[in-house]
């Protein structure tokens, strides 16, 4: 099974100092992939910079110019969460371009699936606004590129970051060609992602939100994937699956209360891979979002790639959460979502 990896040292140049989203995240992932010899099993893919035309499919030209000028002036804090350094604009172009390159590699058959190990992350970025550590919305730009360049009519975006991808949802809220599915801790930043946010107009029903209570673990997430994701994906019939792969729902992550393990992430990826083989000719592209415990992040990315590669053994050095189990049953939540989206 040919699996591509988008990576370049340019992603380390987005200098956020002591911010939780910093270059050490990618260094930890690359170090583990090399130590475990996972890197030797992957097809290396070099990113390129996204063009202004590609960015403008999702973001306004005024916003793009603002980010560029802000970086050129030396950077700083765009908002209370989001840091920009002098190199950040160029790095962000390559993050979006890396996701585009991953789509091209998968659609051309160069690889079966691909992981874009990029930063800054993207799924909070709005048309006119950077937020939540994100400058440009990598996954949304990749989806727009796939539709424009390959005339795709059905793209599924799966977002399992612990935070709701408000920027991605906003981009496709009225778009019937993209089905956006999100699991996220709720209530939590950024405050969006309720079950009744389902899209509008011709896009009504194309947004599927699963706002989970804190402390949900592997079993809860796998139920969601089995009872909600699988039937809505099969009904939609995607030609390409894109994944906002955020690993901050791991139990050891410092900024969330979810209780997923590395093994749990691996099982979620198995479900996605099975859906890809069944529905999209195996075409799957993942792009990195969150994940801020370095050991948990690195091990979870390794496990993700092992599943995509077809490696049977999953290494989970952190093990299960010491606090497994949700504080609130999710039966009524899942029933409500199934009723809203008419799946049995």
d(CA 109, CA 106): 5
- Number of Cβ within a 10 Å radius of residue 69: 10
| DSSP per-residue string spanning 166-213 | HHHHHHTTT-TTEEEEEEEESS-TT----TT----GGGTT-EEEEEEP
What tokens does 240 get? 């390409």
DSSP H helical segments within 39-195, as ranges?
52-55, 61-72, 88-107, 138-150, 166-171
Tell me the residue length of the chain.
344
d(CA 12, CA 322): 33
d(CA 259, CA 251): 4
Active site residue 124: yes
From 123, 124, 145, 184, active-site residue: 124
- E strand or H helix that includes residue 44: strand 43-45
Among the listed residues 252, 329, 291, 251, the one whose alpha carbon sits nearest the alpha carbon of residue 115: 291
The residues that are catalytic are 124
């Amino acid at each position: 099974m040919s699996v591509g990896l988008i990576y370049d040292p340019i992603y380390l140049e987005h200098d956020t100092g002591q911010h939780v989203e910093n270059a050490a995240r990618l260094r930890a992932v690359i170090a583990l992939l090399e130590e475990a010899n996972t890197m030797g099993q992957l097809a290396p893919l070099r990113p390129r910079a996204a063009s202004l035309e590609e960015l403008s499919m999702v973001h306004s030209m005024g916003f793009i110019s603002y980010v560029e000028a802000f970086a050129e002036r030396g950077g700083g804090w765009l908002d209370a969460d989001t840091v920009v350094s002098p190199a950040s604009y160029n790095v962000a172009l390559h993050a979006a371009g890396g996701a585009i390159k991953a789509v091209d590699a998968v659609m051309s058959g160069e690889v079966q699936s691909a992981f874009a190990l990029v930063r800054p992350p993207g799924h909070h970025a709005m048309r006119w606004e950077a937020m939540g550590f994100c400058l440009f919305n990598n996954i949304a730009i990749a989806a727009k590129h796939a539709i424009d360049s390959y005339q795709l009519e059905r793209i599924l975006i799966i977002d399992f970051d612990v935070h709701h991808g408000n920027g991605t949802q906003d981009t496709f809220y009225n778009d019937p060609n993209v089905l956006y599915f999100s699991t996220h801790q709720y209530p939590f930043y950024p405050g969006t992602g309720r079950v009744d946010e389902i899209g509008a107009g011709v896009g009504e029903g194309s947004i599927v939100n699963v706002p989970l209570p804190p402390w949900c673990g592997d079993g809860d997430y796998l139920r969601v994937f089995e009872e909600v994701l699988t039937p809505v994906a099969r009904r939609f019939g995607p030609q390409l699956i894109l994944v906002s792969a955020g690993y901050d729902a791991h139990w050891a992550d410092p900024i969330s209360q979810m209780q997923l393990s590395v093994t749990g992430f691996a099982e979620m990826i198995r479900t996605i891979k099975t859906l890809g083989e069944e529905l999209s000719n195996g075409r799957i592209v993942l792009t990195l979002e969150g994940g801020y415990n370095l050991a948990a992040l690195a091990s979870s990315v390794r496990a993700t790639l092992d599943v995509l590669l077809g490696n049977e053994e999953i290494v989970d050095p952190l093990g299960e959460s010491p606090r497994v189990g949700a504080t609130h049953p999710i039966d009524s939540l899942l029933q409500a979502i199934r009723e809203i989206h008419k799946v049995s």
